[in-house]
Structure 1
Amino acid sequence: MEGQASGPDDKILPLPDEFIEFLNENGLDPSIYVANDSTPRYIRLKPGFEAHIEEFESEINCKLERLSWLPNFYCLPPDIRIASSKAYQEGKIYGIDAASGAAVSALDITSGDHVLDLCAAPVEPTESMLEGKSEIYKEWTSRRPWKERKKASKARENGAYKLFSQTHDPELIYYGRDSGVVGLSKNKVYEHLNDYKVSKYGYDKVLVDAECTHDGSIRHIQKFEQWGWETLHRRVLDAERTDELTALQLQLLSNGFRLLKVGGSLVYSTCSLTVSQNEGVVEKFLSQNKSAGLLEIDSARTWPCKSGQIPKTLRFDPNTSCTSGLFVAKFTKWEI
């Protein structure tokens, strides 16, 4: 059975009744999922290429409109494609929603900061980790052998991540030849550190853009028209999966916070608009971490967003922000 979501332009997107009920339970207006043309596409211009704007515009045959509230971001009509452009392929422009850019901007990263990015990428558990044996994290690389990827996929299917997250504390991770954490050499990073040492040597800034149901991504939800609404039920509405996701989100947030130095900043974000994956996770995390506190995001005073259900948290949505949906919370670590 399908319901209808209608927007100001009277266009209609059929949505399953179960999904509309899901939206109502979370206080969300179904009209944000209308397939309208009002939400623009956003790009970020790589710093240093400002003088090439006209060249980019000529290549994609479109005028770029500078976003007043977010540096280096531009908007363009939603039907414009940039993937085949030379500027995109050379890494001079990036396709990224403005709300996601705002979440990164909230970290206020400055030159010299050591930053840990936990964007929807938990460490793959190996067999020895799951058996409780100690193991040194290797230097991160995205080029893993096919057999290793297959084994990790099988571990996910068998619930290995859940077991791993419940029984293992994170270690400091070395991310490259010229990176690491302040005050530690590469060899030192491989050593086991207690909480006190981690708080002293940890990262200045941490971004936890956690895995979620992606219900705040309007274009993602619209794709279920082609994928089938049964897939929407499995990926978004299934209670068991969402319970596992909130457990993972809390663990990612907790792990990221443990690797944050005292006085540092951590931003937690999801592209979900549900309370359970956002305010619910934040409240539970704060109740478990006495050294954690929410920070005001100063730059957000000019952002087109609204407050979350917890003071100092933020929510973006198509109707308010002309962006995809996103939740943002910023934490600091106090010395106790």
Structure 2
Amino acid sequence: MASALPLPDSFLCFLEENGLDPSIYSIESSIPRYIRLKPGCEIELSSLEEELGCNLEGVVWLKGFFAIPPHVRISGSDAYRNGKIYGMDAASGAAVLALNVLPGDHVLDLCAAPGAKLCMISDLLGGLGTVTGVDVIRHRLTSCRTIVLKYSLGDCCRLFLADGTSFSVPPPASSDTQLSQSAESAEVFEGWSSKRTRRERRMARKSMVAPPTDEPELIFYGRSAGVVGRRREEIFRSLTDVDISGYDKVLVDSECTHDGSVKHLRKFDQWGWDTLQRRVLDASRTDGLDQLQLKLLSNGFRLLKTGGSLVYSTCSLTVTQNEDVVRRFLAENSSAELKDVEWAEDWPCTSGKIPKTLRFDPATSRTSGLFIAKITKRASHHDKS
């Protein structure tokens, strides 16, 4: 069966090289769009259906998510403008749910853009704990900031412009953490303001991408994100310099070729398929992509506390970017252990090519494609001694 999308020869070649059947894209027009309803807005379901002009079909295996026809646009609705709903694929919601975020957790979203997962994490925290979002592209991270502010989910959130492969800022320090005294003139963070400092404006002009050797740039923080009232040295201390336990949960939704994302591929039908070749399939980008993914996964694991949980995911269907990356990571990290994903037996997904990993795909799941691996950190022999 041919694909409904006019896939170019270069993409068909990519699929063939990776053992992927083009027919999985033949049902793209029948895959619904998914939205997440902000908690507390359930009583408005009937009025939301009337406003959007369609039924909201509850996703039985994923609380708070609803399926709507793919042609329905939510951006013009009052519900969207007022922050009651946001678009998010159900498979992406499953990746967040796999983390088992609990109120009070300190969560790291190492590849935070475009921000929907960040919003869901904030929802699950329920105002307790913190979520730290990191991205290397400035305009993508500012979009995250816009989203968390729009949905009033930024109170426990902080956002860093930084390279996820080297990011080293630990979770917010507890209030009783004692650090060395600074000079009276040391900078103390007050409440965040949209008015940027001269230093921030200079850095914004300097580059749209965070240089890997520069100190991370804090571009947003909420009142309860562990920043207000703290000195710069308390926030920007390094994991390698301070004895800290790390983050409770880490999400590494890694950069990938997006070949499993139906929504992403639909955009190229509008932008022109030559754009796909330039942005996704160009050898200068794909060569070494698996190495980037391994570095992101490895650094996320380094920032995870002992006993914590990490989820590695991509919206690619290839083995190279998924199982192969996980295999290499496990071979290099004796304290890492793959874990079963709670609730997965009720999810419309299949097993990956490594036990305990999961795969969503358009044909099986009626979602975009997504790979999920859940990893925990065991105590090392050194820790036990």
2:98 match: 106
Identity of aligned residues (%): 58
Match 1:57 to one of 49, 59, 64:
49
Change (3 A) 1:280 1:174: farther
Once residues 244 and 141 of structure 1 are traced to their aligned partners in structure 2, the CA distance between those partners, rounded to angstroms, is 39
| 1:73 lines up with 2:117 in the alignment | no
CA shift digits 1:222-265 (9 cap, x unpaired): 33233333322222222331134323222221221111110000
The letter for the 1-side match of 2:351 is S
Once residues 47 and 92 of structure 1 are traced to their aligned partners in structure 2, the CA distance between those partners, rounded to angstroms, is 8
Once residues 82 and 268 of structure 1 are traced to their aligned partners in structure 2, the CA distance between those partners, rounded to angstroms, is 29
Distance apart, 1:326 and its partner CA: 0.9
1:272 match: 316
Distance apart, 1:190 and its partner CA: 3.2
CA contact (8 A) 1:124 1:152 kept: no
Once residues 37 and 185 of structure 1 are traced to their aligned partners in structure 2, the CA distance between those partners, rounded to angstroms, is 52
1:89 match: 81
1:40 match: 32
TM-score (norm 1): 0.80
Distance apart, 1:41 and its partner CA: 0.7
Match 1:149 to one of 201, 204, 209:
204
Once residues 194 and 21 of structure 2 are traced to their aligned partners in structure 1, the CA distance between those partners, rounded to angstroms, is 38
Q: How does 1:249-288 map to 2 (within 5 A)?
A: 249-288=293-332
CA shift digits 1:34-74 (9 cap, x unpaired): 36431001111111111111111111111111111001111
1:321 match: 365
Once residues 52 and 267 of structure 1 are traced to their aligned partners in structure 2, the CA distance between those partners, rounded to angstroms, is 33
Q: Structure 1, unaligned stretches of length 5 or more?
A: 130-135
Distance apart, 1:329 and its partner CA: 0.9
1:132 match: none
Q: SS of the residue aligned with 2:5?
A: strand
Change (3 A) 1:217 1:249: same
Once residues 291 and 161 of structure 2 are traced to their aligned partners in structure 1, the CA distance between those partners, rounded to angstroms, is 16
Query: How well do the aligned residues superpose, as a CA RMSD in angstroms?
Result: 3.3
2:260 match: 216
Distance apart, 1:197 and its partner CA: 2.5
| 1:190 lines up with 2:236 in the alignment | yes
| 1:307 lines up with 2:303 in the alignment | no
Change (3 A) 1:226 1:56: closer
Once residues 81 and 243 of structure 1 are traced to their aligned partners in structure 2, the CA distance between those partners, rounded to angstroms, is 36
The letter for the 2-side match of 1:214 is H
CA contact (8 A) 2:28 2:262 kept: no
2:377 match: 333
Distance apart, 1:29 and its partner CA: 1.8
Q: How many residues align?
A: 306
CA shift digits 1:8-49 (9 cap, x unpaired): xxxx43322232121122222212223643100111111111
TM-score (norm 2): 0.70
Once residues 27 and 45 of structure 2 are traced to their aligned partners in structure 1, the CA distance between those partners, rounded to angstroms, is 29
1:6 match: 2
Once residues 7 and 315 of structure 2 are traced to their aligned partners in structure 1, the CA distance between those partners, rounded to angstroms, is 19
CA contact (8 A) 1:32 1:218 kept: no
CA contact (8 A) 2:360 2:371 kept: yes
Q: SS of the residue aligned with 2:30?
A: coil
Distance apart, 1:89 and its partner CA: 1.2
The letter for the 2-side match of 1:149 is A
Q: SS of the residue aligned with 1:275?
A: coil
Distance apart, 1:193 and its partner CA: 3.8
Change (3 A) 1:194 1:239: same
Distance apart, 1:142 and its partner CA: 9.0
CA contact (8 A) 1:116 1:205 kept: yes
